[in-house]
Chains A and B, each alone.
Chain A
Amino acid sequence: MSQIFPRSANTISRVSIVGAVLLIGLLLGLVYELGASPWVTRQYVAREQPIQFSHERHVAGNGIDCRYCHTSVEQSRFAGIPPTKTCMNCHSQIFSNAPFLEPVRASFNSNKPLRWTRVHDLPDFVYFDHSIHVSKGVGCTTCHGQVDRMPLMWQNSTLQMAWCLDCHRNPERNVRPRSEVFSVSYQPPSSQHEVTVNGKTFTDQVEMGKALVAEYQIQKLTSCSTCHR
C-alpha cells in the first residue's frame, strides 16, 4: 500500500506550525499596537471647537496664566472651563467687533454657555483629581504637553492606565518644584540646564525628583481604589 502523505508533508507541517504561531503573535501584536495608537486613544488629534480658540495665542503670545481661566485647578477635582464672562473681561475691550468672536458675544448676550468639545475625557469609572496632583508638584505641561504651542488643543498623552501607573510607580521621573507647576517654559534639570530647589542645585531629574518626593511626601499610590470606586 502506498503512503498517504508524501515526504514533503513533513516540511509543510513544520512550516504551518511555526507559521500559525507567528500569525497569532502578529495578530496579537497588531491588536496591542492599534489599542495604543492615536487612532484609538486620539492622542495628538486636534479637536474642532465652536470657536477656534488658540492656547498658543493666549498662553505664549499674551502670557496669561493657566489659572486665569482654569480657576478651580488648585481646589477641585476639575480644572474648570471658564464662563463666557472670562472671555469678555478682555474681549469687551480688544477685538470687541471682530466677526471671528461673534459666537462669544452671542453667548454672552444670550446668557447661554459656549459648548466646548471636551479634549481630555477619562472613562466614567476613573476618578482623577487635579488639585492633589498640582499640590504635589505635577506640572500642567507634564500631562497636557506644551500647551503654549497648541493652536488648537490636542491630547498630548495616551490617557491609558499604563501611562497613569508609569508615573504613580515612579513619580520622581516627573515631579517638579511647586513654584514651577504652572510654568509652561519650565525645563527639567539636565547636564546643560540646572534647576535650583531650596538652595540646592540639581542637574538630574531623578535626583531632584527623589528629593521632592521626600519633601512633598508623595506616595506611590497604586491601589485600584485610589482611582476606581
Chain B
Amino acid sequence: MAHRWGMAVDLDRCTGCEACVTACRAENNIPTVGDLQASRGRAIHWIRVERYFEGEFPDVKVNYRPVMCQQCDAAPCEPVCPTYASHHNDEGLNAQVYNRCIGTRYCANACPYNVRFFDFFNPVWEKPMHLQLNPDVSLREVGVMEKCTFCVQRIAAGKDAAAADKREVKDGDIKPACVQGCPSKALVFGDLNDPESEVSRLAESPRGTKLLEDLGTAPKVTYLQGVEHA
C-alpha cells in the first residue's frame, strides 16, 4: 500500500530549543540572507518555533509551537500554481519542483501557515561553509519558491535501503532532520497509512488538534497538547 507521510508534534514535550530549526537548515541547504534582508521579511526557515506568552509578569508561562509545512491533503498552495511546480505527490506530500517554478509566489500567498519562502537571491556559502552542503538536496536558485519537504531525500533513501534489503519500510526507519534532532522527542514522523505506526496512534489521540483546522486544508501534522484544568 502506498505510504502517506505525516507528523505529530507533542507541544507538552517541546522545550523551544530550536534544535529542529538548526537540523533543518543543515540538512536542507537553507540559505541565510543576512540581518538586513531578514528585517525585510526575506529570511527562510522551513521550520520555525513560535512563542506564545501566557499570563502577566512574573507569572509568565511560555508555550512553543514548531511550525513546518503541514503537508495538507487539500493544500491551498497547489491549485494556484500555473506551472504545477507545487503539486501533490503519490505519497501525499506537497512537493515543490524547483526547476519548474517560475516564481509567481501565488502559492505563498495562498498558504495560511506562512511556510513557503521565496528565494530573493542566489544562495551564497562563504568558504569553507560550502563544505557542509548536503549533496542530496539541490540548491535553489534565485526566483523560486522553497518549502519543507518532510526531508524527501531521506524518505527516498529509506525506501531504497528497504528495497535493497527486500523488505518493507519499518516505522521509525525514516526520520526527517527535525525529528532526528529533537532532544525531547516532541516530533514523531511516520506513515499514516500504517495503523500500527506511532504517528497514526498519536494522530488519533484526544489531545490532538490540527493547525487552523476549520480552514479545511486537512493538514497531516497533528499538534498534541494536554488540557489544563484550573
Chain B interface secondary structure, helix, strand, loop or mixed?
Answer: loop
- The reply to whether A228 and B90 contact each other, CB–CB distance below 8 Å, is no
A-B residue pair count with CB separations less than 8 angstroms: 50
A132 at the interface (CB under 8 A from B): yes
B95 at the interface (CB under 8 A from A): yes
A124 at the interface (CB under 8 A from B): yes
B28 closest partner in A (C-beta): A229
Give the distance in Å from the alpha carbon of A228 to the alpha carbon of B97 in the complex.
6
B152 at the interface (CB under 8 A from A): yes
Report which residue of A124, A224, A226 has the largest number of chain B beta carbons within 10 angstroms of its beta carbon: A224
Which of chain A's residues 183-229 have a Cβ closer than 8 Å to chain B?
A: 221, 223-226, 228-229
A residues less than 8 Å from B93 (CB atoms) = 225
- The reply to whether B153 and A127 contact each other, CB–CB distance below 8 Å, is yes
- The reply to whether A224 and B138 contact each other, CB–CB distance below 8 Å, is no
Give the shortest distance, in Å, between A138 (CB) and chain B (any CB).
13
A residues less than 8 Å from B36 (CB atoms) = none
Give the shortest distance, in Å, between A81 (CB) and chain B (any CB).
16
A residues less than 8 Å from B156 (CB atoms) = 127, 129, 226, 229
- The reply to whether A225 and B164 contact each other, CB–CB distance below 8 Å, is no
Report which residue of B97, B98, B136, B153 has the largest number of chain A beta carbons within 10 angstroms of its beta carbon: B97
B173 at the interface (CB under 8 A from A): no
B98 closest partner in A (C-beta): A125
- The reply to whether A223 and B95 contact each other, CB–CB distance below 8 Å, is yes
Indicate whether A225 sits within 8 Å of B163 (C-beta atoms), given known contacts A125-B98, A125-B99: no
- The reply to whether B138 and A125 contact each other, CB–CB distance below 8 Å, is yes
Residue B160 contacts which of A125, A132, A223, A229 (CB distance < 8 angstroms)?
A132
Chain A proximity mask over B79-92: 1 for CB below 8 Å, otherwise 0: 00000000101110
A residues less than 8 Å from B102 (CB atoms) = none
B residues less than 8 Å from A223 (CB atoms) = 89-91, 95
Give the shortest distance, in Å, between B142 (CB) and chain A (any CB).
14
A135 closest partner in B (C-beta): B164
Give the shortest distance, in Å, between A183 (CB) and chain B (any CB).
21
A71 at the interface (CB under 8 A from B): no
B residues less than 8 Å from A131 (CB atoms) = 160, 164
Give the distance in Å from the alpha carbon of A228 to the alpha carbon of B139 in the complex.
11
B100 at the interface (CB under 8 A from A): yes
A residues less than 8 Å from B153 (CB atoms) = 127, 229
Q: Which residues of A contact B (CB under 8 A)?
A: 75, 123-125, 127, 129, 131-132, 135-136, 221, 223-226, 228-229
- 24 chain-A/chain-B pairs, Cβ below 8 angstroms: A124-B139, A125-B99, A125-B138, A127-B138, A127-B153, A129-B156, A129-B160, A135-B163, A135-B164, A221-B90, A223-B89, A224-B87, A224-B100, A225-B89, A225-B93, A225-B95, A225-B149, A228-B97, A228-B98, A228-B138, A229-B95, A229-B136, A229-B137, A229-B153
6 additional contacts (CB under 8 A) given A225-B97, A229-B136: A124-B138, A125-B99, A127-B156, A129-B156, A136-B163, A224-B100
The list of the 8 closest CB pairs from A to B, nearest first, reads A225-B95, A223-B89, A125-B138, A224-B97, A229-B152, A225-B89, A223-B90, A125-B99
